[in-house]
Structure 1
Amino acid sequence: MANADTTFLYAHLTVAGPEREVGEFERRARGPGVIPWYFDGDVLEEDIFLMAIQAPDRSLTVEGCRILAHQFRLRAEERHSQVLALVEAGDTRCPLDLHALLPVPESLLRRGLSDSRSRAWLREQWGVETALRKVVVLPEKKNRSTKSIKSRALQYGFFSEKSLPERAVRRLTALWPALHFTLVEREAF
């Protein structure tokens, strides 16, 4: 969950090139739009309990803090189960899933998002520390070049937390040399 002071940036990513390659990119880019991090409910419950018990203006008893922490854990486990179900079902509701294109290594998924090495990998490889949010495919304008090869431009709109996925775009440019990627920050609505 994002903090109230978190900055979300809105951006457009245009992927242009030969129609066939753009179509293949479009197919491979689809995924559930989540990162399937390992989840440790015991650690979460203990962390929530410690935050609640140490709150300076605490109004809950020690037992109340334990109940609150346990309820928080149950909700988090439920949400995590939903995320894993999307991944296991091969869900493709997100049209631009960075984890589908540039997967987080399993060894880092096991460490979890709170691990500094996991966050460092995301910053280094993607340029962002979370999955893209509210990803949509924007209306497409057919582009027919004067050459015999038909070209196509596909445009995505999305929000990212604190920074743009510039490093991911650089990696995608190297992996898809026939395509041209353009990432531009936009005003959000």
Structure 2
Amino acid sequence: MDGGAVLKRGRRPRRPSPAPTIAQPVLPPHAPPDVLALPQPDWLYQELTVKGDGDALWSFRQAAAGAGHVPWVHDYDALEERWLSLMLTQPGRTISLQGVKIVAREVKEAFRDEHEEACAWVGRSKAVPLDLHQLVPVPWEVLKLGPDAPGALRWLWQNWGTTWPLRKVERFSCPDGAWRVGFFSADWTPWPAIATCRLSWPTLSFDVRVRYGTD
């Protein structure tokens, strides 16, 4: 699953590149021209600090925590065909056609098993302290399109501000009356999702900062 909840005390996180995940196929997106969705996402490390009334802050924290996964509907056979096509067109390929078919099938089965296991935790797990799908759920009619369909990418861009779930979400210790998390987001800051939070919790303040280095 994407992200993870780790409590750190007294230090700012380092900025490693987020590890690849099988929870979303690594395939070129069919992004509309008005949507920022790079073929290889630029993962930006950021920190969000939320301050305000204790009851409202608790309400937000409960609403924000989730499984860190989006339950997309996938056509697994179509994905297998796409992975097969990508592998067959790799320069300098040395594996046979039969070997490529076996690898594509194994990748499909591994991806299907992990995706469906992660989907089972959506709505049940609170392991990830900041889950965009929990805060601004992707509607069923969009989930059916799949994560790299133009309509899905446009919805994510307009409602989240990023076309992937957040990665490596970490919660940090803060003084009373404040809550802080670090996370990686793909290509951009999730401003639309934060704007939705500001409307839903008007007594809280939301401050986001991009961290380009380590200290």
> Shift in Å at residue 54 of structure 1?
2.6
Aligned-residue sequence identity (percent) comes to 31
User: Match for residue 104 of structure 1?
Assistant: 138
> Shift in Å at residue 75 of structure 1?
1.1
Quick one: which of 180, 191, 206 aligns to 1:155? 180
User: Match for residue 149 of structure 1?
Assistant: none
2:179 aligned partner, one-letter code: L
User: Match for residue 146 of structure 1?
Assistant: none
Are 1:125 and 2:159 an aligned pair? yes
2:159 aligned partner, one-letter code: Q
Are 1:9 and 2:44 an aligned pair? yes
**Residues 70-94 of structure 1, C-alpha deviations (whole Å, 9 max, x = no match):** 1111111121122112226x01100
User: Match for residue 175 of structure 2?
Assistant: 141
> Shift in Å at residue 61 of structure 1?
2.2
1:158 aligned partner, one-letter code: F
Q: Pick the structure with more strand per residue.
A: 1
The equivalences for 1:53-132 within 5 A come to 53-87=88-122, 90-132=124-166
Q: CA RMSD in A?
A: 1.8
Query: What SS class does the counterpart of residue 52 from structure 2 fall into?
Result: strand
Q: Pick the structure with more helix per residue.
A: 1
Equivalent pair of 2:49/2:179 in contact (CA under 8 Å):
yes
Are 1:185 and 2:202 an aligned pair? no
How far apart, CA to CA, are the structure 2 residues paired with 1:85 and 1:179?
32
> Shift in Å at residue 55 of structure 1?
2.8
Unaligned runs of 5+ in 2: 1-19, 27-38
How far apart, CA to CA, are the structure 2 residues paired with 1:102 and 1:49?
34
TM-score (norm 1): 0.88
**Residues 79-110 of structure 1, C-alpha deviations (whole Å, 9 max, x = no match):** 1122112226x011000111111101111111
How far apart, CA to CA, are the structure 2 residues paired with 1:117 and 1:23?
34
Equivalent pair of 1:10/1:188 in contact (CA under 8 Å):
no
Unaligned runs of 5+ in 1: 143-151
Query: What SS class does the counterpart of residue 13 from structure 1 fall into?
Result: strand
